[in-house]
Amino acid sequence: MHASTTSRHQPVRQSPGVRKPRNFRWRVVDIVVASVIGVASGVIFWAWGLAWSPLSAILAFTPGLEGLLAGGWLFAGVLGGLIIRKPGAALYTEVIAAVVSMLIGTQWGFSTLIWGIVEGLGAEIVLALFFYANWRLGVALLAGAGAGVAVGLLDTTFTSYSALDFAYKAVYFVSAVVSGTVLAGLLSWLAVRGLARTGALSRFAAGREGSRAPSAARS
């Protein structure tokens, strides 16, 4: 996936000083694509939830390490936020994903929705801190970490993990944050870059950012 130097198609650069006014209102395409990403992620969440039981049993030799799996439920928010780039995108996408995985049927039942809201907020708050203007890798990683913090706190307080000793709770929290950063932050950022190259994001700012890969676009 490296850029070629023979670019047939020059990216359009905004001339300095000419800034299109930022529009924070959601268009229909924003809503539908966020929903599609949310629903797709929801199906993956459900599958991840099924795989979680055996996987966590394997990791259970050191209790708390199951936190490493937590990132599998966090990427929807970061992915939605990076693509849509509007306030509430991370929260909305994560909530939709949680609702869908709940609709299909998970062991955590309705609490999935509550977890989804808090996890979405975790990413949303980070993106808001950067005024929804910075979308680079660092911010993506931080947003993933934010979601990881959220789920770490939730799980160690309300679920069966709250019944563990403090040391294990700490292990869980840290591994959740790491998992969020890598699985949710890094993977989402890479996915958005890949998506932009396929031209699927042509209606979004994420897809128009002077992508250097030449496309077959005609006039």
Partner 1 sequence: MPAPTSFTPGREPHRRAVQIRAHDWGWRHAGRHNPAVSGLGLQIEPGERVLLLGASGAGKSTLLHALAGVLGDAEDGDATGSLLIDGRRAAEARGRVGLVLQDPDSQVVLARVGDDVAFGCENLAVPRAEIWPRVRRALAEVGLDLPLDHPTSSLSGGQKQRLALAGVLAMQPGLLLLDEPTANLDPEGVIDVRDAVVRSLDLSGATCVIIEHRVEVWQDVVDRVIVLDPAGGVLADGATRDILASQGERLAQAGVWVPALPPRFPTRHPVPQPQTLLRAEGLMVGRVPFGRRTASVVADNITLDVRAGTASVVTGPNGAGKSTLALTLAGLLAPAGGMLRASDAFSAGIRPEPHRWRSTQLLTRIGTVFQDPEHQFLAATVRDDLLIGPRALGLSVVQQTSRVDELMLRLRLDHLADANPFTLSGGEKRRMSVATVLATRPRLLVLDEPTFGQDSRTWQELVTLLAELLDEGTAIVAVTHDAQFVSALADEEYRLGTPDPIRLGSGAL
Partner 2 sequence: MSLLTPTIRPSVVARLNPVAKLAVALTVSCALLLSIDWVSAGVALLLEAVLLVWSGLSARQFWLRTAPVWIAAPMASITTVLYGEDSGALLWQFGFISVTEGSAQLGLAIGLRVLAIGLPGIVLLATTDPTDLADGLAQVLRLPARFVLGGLAGLRLVGMFIEDWHCLTLARRARGVGDGGGVRGAARRFFGPAFSLLVISVRRGSKLATAMEARGFGSDEPRTWARLSQVRAADAVLVGVGCAISGIAIAVAVWAGTWSFVLA
Binding site for partner 2 (CB under 8 A): 26-29, 31-40, 42-44, 49-50, 53, 56-57, 60-63, 83, 92, 96, 100, 102-111, 113-114, 157-158, 160, 162-165, 168, 191, 194-195, 198, 200-203
Q: Indicate whether 105 belongs to the interface with partner 1 (CB under 8 A).
A: no
- Residue 45's closest CA among 73, 19, 8, 26? 73
Q: Among the residues of the chain, which ranges form H helices?
A: 28-59, 75-84, 89-104, 111-129, 137-158, 166-179, 187-197
Q: How far is the CB of 29 from partner 1 (least distance, A)?
A: 8
Residue carrying structure tokens 């924003």: 30
Say which entry of partner 2, partner 1, none residue 163 contacts (CB below 5 to 8 A, set by partner kind). Answer: partner 2
Q: Which two tokens stand for residue 49?
A: 């939830």
Backbone angles phi, psi at 211, to 5 degrees: -65, 130
CA-to-CA distance for 128 and 4, rounded, in angstroms? 35
Q: Which does 39 bind (CB under 5 to 8 A by kind): partner 2, partner 1, none?
A: partner 2
Give the shortest CB-42-to-partner 1 separation in angstroms: 17
Sites of contact with partner 1 (CB under 8 A): 1, 4, 6, 8-12, 20-21, 23, 27, 194, 197-200, 202-203, 207-208, 213-219
